[in-house]
Structure 1
C-alpha cells in the first residue's frame, strides 16, 4: 500500500528537499506551508517528477489549534511519516525584539509541532509503525544570545524528540531530531537583514545534502542526526569549555557578522 507523508514548511528549503526524497520513495504527500505561491509551485514540480499524489494545505502554524484543523482537513488520513520542518528565526536582544513575532515562533516551533506530533502519533501507535522527523538545529546545544528564543526553542525540540524516542522504543514508531548547522535556505531572509545567518559562508551546507542526511537517519530510526564532521564537534563543545564561555562565543559570532 502507498504510504503518506505530511511535511510542514514544505514550500522551499529543507522541507521541499525532504518532500522530493519521500516522493522518490513512493510516498503520497501532504505539503503544508504559509507561502501559497511556492507551495503550489512545489506541488506542480513534484507531480511532474514523480508518480505520487500531492495535496497542499495553506496554513499559518503560529495560530492556536492549527494542528487540530490540519487533522480534520486531511480527514484523519493515516500519516506514516511526519516531518515537522516549519520554522523561522528572529535576531536581536530579547528586550528589543517584538513579542508578537516571538509568540509566533513559540507556537510554530513548540506548540504546533508538539500538538501535531501527539495527534499523528496516536494513529502510528495503533498501526505499530511510523516515523517522525523534527527539525532541530546545531543551535540546540548551547544558549544563543541575540537569537535567544530561536536557540531555546530548538533545544526544546531536541530534548522533546530524544525523550519520546525513548518512550517509543519497541512500538515500531521512531523519532529523529535533525540538527543541521548553517544551511543555504530561505531561512536567512526571514530572520533579519542584519543577522549572522545572512553573512556566514563558512561551514554553510547545501539543503539537499542536509535533507538526504536527515532522511537516511530517519529511515534508520536514528534519534539524533547531526550532518557534518565540524557540526558534530561543535555540538560537543560544552565538554571542552564552560557553558558561559560557549555562550560568549556564540554572542561574539553573532556580533561579528552584523552590519
Structure 2
C-alpha cells in the first residue's frame, strides 16, 4: 500500500451507540470504513449520517457476529484490504440467574464477545505485524473488573476481553501494533434502550455517560497507545474497588444493586 493511500478501519456494532460514534471519529480523520452490524436499516442510516460530514469510502457488511466462524466469513469479504484499525464494539447483555436464563442467547453472547472478537483479531493481526503498524480497540466494560451476579456471563465475557487485550498488548511491544481495551461504565446507548441521538450533553457524568464523550476518550486512548482506558474518575475508582474491599464483598454489593434493578 502506498504511503499516501487512505487508511482503512473496521468497526463492529457500528449501527448505533459507541460503534457509530467511533466510526464518525474515524471518518473525520480520513479513514475508509468497513462497518459491520446485524441491523441493516440502522447501518444504512449510520452510513448516510457519516457521509453528511465526510466523503470517505464506506463498505457495509450485515452480519450476525454471534455465529460460529463468522470472523472467517468477514475476513474473506475483506478480500485483501489492509486493515489499519480494528474496533471490536459489538455486544449485548443478558440479565437473570445463570440457571434460569436462555442458553441459546447466552451462548450467542459468548460467541460474539469472545470467539468472534478473538478470531477476527487472529486473522487480521499477522498482516498488521508484517507491516509494522496497526491499532486495535476492544470495547469491554467496567464490569470486567469483578464478578456480576445476575449478569454472570456478561461480566465474565467482559473480563476475558480485558485480560486478553492486556496480554496481547504486552506480546506486541516493539511491533508497531498497539492494543487498547476501553472499559466504560453505564453509557447512554442502545444497550440501555436509549439511542445515541437521545443524549443531550457531551460529558461523562456520575451515573451515566454520553457515548460521544466515551467514544472520544477511547479513540484518543487508542491513538496514544494506552492499554487500559477507563473514562471517568468515579469509574476509575470503581475499577480498583475489588482490590480494596475484596472481590467477595464487591460481588455481594453488585448482587444488591442488580436485585434493585430487577425489582424496579
TM-score category (smaller protein):
over 0.9
Contact 2:206 2:234 in 1 (8 A): no
1:230 corresponds to: 234
Partner of 1:242: 246
Q: Which moved more, 1:225-234 or 1:65-74?
A: 65-74
Three-state SS of the structure 1 residue aligned to 2:100 is coil
Q: List alignment gaps of at least 5 residues for structure 2.
A: 195-204
- Which residue of 70, 81, 84 maps to 2:74? 70
Number of the residue aligned with 1:204:
208
Deviation at 1:45, TM superposition (A): 1.1
- Per-residue CA deviation, residues 63-82 of structure 1 (Å, 9 max, x unaligned), is 11111110111212110000
**Which structure 1 segments of 5+ residues have no match?**
191-200
Are the equivalent residues in 1 in contact too, given 2:165–2:181 (CA < 8 A)? yes
Deviation at 1:239, TM superposition (A): 2.1
1:131 maps to 135
- Paired position in structure 2 for 1:31: 35
Query: How far apart in 2 are the matches of 1:155 and 1:149?
Result: 10
- For residue 193 of structure 1, what is the aligned residue in structure 2? none
- 1:4 aligns with 8
2:22 alignment partner, one of 18, 21, 44: 18
Superposed CA deviations along residues 135-163 of structure 1, whole A, max 9, x for unmatched, are 11000000000000000000000000000
**Count of residues in correspondence between the two structures:** 249
Alignment-derived partner of residue 155 in structure 1: 159
Counterpart check, 1:213 vs 2:217: yes
Paired position in structure 2 for 1:43: 47
Say if 2:91 is the partner of 1:82.
no
Q: Distance in 1 between matches of 2:55 and 2:84?
A: 18
Pair 1:185 & 2:189 matched = yes
Provide the alpha-carbon RMSD of the alignment: 1.1
The match for 1:53 is 57
1:189 to partner: Cα distance: 3.0
What residue in structure 2 maps to residue 97 of structure 1? 101
Q: Which runs of 4+ in 1 moved over 2 A?
A: none
> The residue matched to 2:234 in structure 1 has which SS?
helix
